[in-house]
Structure 1
Amino acid sequence: MSTTSPAGPNPAIALNDDVTIPQLGFGVFQVPPEETERVVAEALRAGYRSIDTATRYGNEEGVGAAVAASGLAREEIFVTTKLANPDQGYETTLAAFDASMGRLGLDVLDLYLMHWPCPARGETVNTWRAFEELFRAGRIRSIGVSNFLPHHFEQLFDATEVVPSINQIELHPYFQQPELRVYHAERGIVTEAYSPIAQGDCLDDPVITGIADRLGATPAQVVLRWHLQLGTVVIPKSVTPARIAANLGALGITLSEDDMTAIEALDRGEDGRRGFHPDRFNGFPEDFATT
């Protein structure tokens, strides 16, 4: 699914199931439901062809409405959503998937992700078996996970058959997770980056701004280009039309080896993490209200 934007070709990344995903996609985390259709429509007009949402975001309907109104053929748009933590479990996953598809208005989903491993719930294997069933039935083209660490994968490998195609993880210059990326590569799992610009925190970094000034690019374009040259799939989010379009400019610049090395040196290890640790997050308090 290689696509072309005004800034240049958007490479297709091959997954371990022969499905391909555009390398630079668009995320809708924290996009208000009432704004989602407009924002996704803007992204599609700008040239994005991969949209990432989740049940937990509460905006699947807006994504589906924008896709339906886009005038683009369904096969031109790669849609990802994620299972909410309270829905983990075999039967509950199957029901939750049906509900997501109803909100999205789709017959087949391109990629379904288990949003968190949620170790305290103890439903990882049962949930993945439901994913496998949906995958084999042709209702999902590719299945993957999010926020998994090696020991979470090993639990799946010991009890199930299908290797996840993607692990969507927090990844940015301040939190680069090199060991986990190597683990993925050795097992044919694609790394996908969320919070790719550290929620904006790295955009004022002198290393990033210095490279941007030299290239005549924005700091966000530099960081997104770093992700692209690492080989990761990346899903920046914005609600501003100018920024939505500008982020695609990452496709039209190139970082030198020295640039890549300078950004690599910004890694702060675990101190750079902005989100939850996968071993200590089992859902928000309200997730447990009915469980």
Structure 2
Amino acid sequence: MSSQEEPVSTSTTTPDPVVVGIDGSPSSTRAVRWAALEAARRNTRLSLLHVWTPVPASVPHAAALGAYEDALVAQARQWLADAESVAREAAPDVPTGSSLVEGSAAARLIGRSAAAQLIVLGSRGLGGFTGLVVGSVAVAVATHGHCPVVVVRGDDDEIVRQDGPVVVGVDGSPANRDAVRFAFAAAAARSVPLVAVHAWSDLPLTTSWELTTATDLVQQHAAEELTTWLSAAHAEHPDVTVEPVIAHGGPAQVLLARAGAAQLLVVGSRGRGGFRGLLLGSTSQAMIYHAACPVAVVPSPPH
């Protein structure tokens, strides 16, 4: 069965596109709107992608299910047409194309990430099972993708907010540097402040004097480190106003508390102690599942 494929430009000056996964759900529609606005900021194309899974030939009576597959493809084409209308309404000047392909959604999206600036996904698919959809698609793409992945979180009946700062989690690890650069660029493109959050955990101390003294020293040292960790990316975007936040607590807890007022939360795919090849970092997964705003997961650089 043939599939609808997006025309591919042969121009070497055409930027790689923002790719958004489509499944016909309200969450997917919100992701399309967010992706269209982001493509406009980046002055690039928007690619709408739906992946459908054919019935395996090994399934009994698979040959008789041709009409069922035809219906799946027809529905997918309608979803893509509807998504294109949403994209054009959100960003009329953004060139938009669509693709309908067979296979595994995660595998196809990971493949497309090799030539994309950004992959954008909704947080819930048809049926609304966040754990199932995010666990099987978004986490897989964020773990193995070659470009940043944005999961557009929030309530389906709300328009994704365009105000508020960009928030980035900073831990000073080499893997975190690209996340910091991404966050600065995002804040600059939106002309909003950047909230740079560094969290530290409890100290193994007993007396209140020890705790108070050590806390002050930790706060001072962490503030100095945070300034150093941000310096290179800040030099690239000197007009971005930075609000440094040194907070006591676990990284996930601290970042989730900041996400409610943010329009975008940025994390690295793996932080301190992370090893390439392992699953997505625990903090990044917590953001994908629980943050109140869109979450960008920026992959670690290859070793």
Shorter-chain TM-score tier: under 0.3
Q: TM-score, normalised on structure 1? A: 0.28
Please tell me whether Structure 1 or Structure 2 has the larger radius of gyration of its CA atoms.
Answer: 2
Instruction: Tell me the TM-score normalized by structure 2.
Output: 0.27
